[in-house]
Amino acid sequence: MVSKKVTVINKMGFHMRPASAFVQAMAQFKSDINIVFNGKNIDGKSIMNVMAACMKQGSELELQCSGPDEAEMLQAAAGLINSGLGEE
């Protein structure tokens, strides 16, 4: 397992469009991704779980990836969040 801490920077957080983009990007990997937020574990491949977590701007997350392509998945996930999930 590999992990990394990131902060949500886009103004609207994980609303429908960026949450969908994140989940679709993570679906390309064989590994599993777990997002730790407010003491809860969120399945990063589940749009419903990601949306229900209410991760807003400034939220601190820990990304945990495990599986055969975990390093690549972690890099992609952190990159998406650090870039604002395609938003300003």
Q: Compute the distance between CA of residue 3 and CA of residue 1 in angstroms, rounded to an integer.
A: 7
With residue 47 as reference, give the H or E element that holds it.
helix 47-52
Distance CA 60, CA 82 (A): 12
Question: Do the beta carbons of residue 74 and residue 2 sit within 8 Å?
Answer: yes
Quick check: is 15 catalytic?
yes
- Catalytic entry in 15, 21, 37, 87: 15
Residues identified as active-site: 15
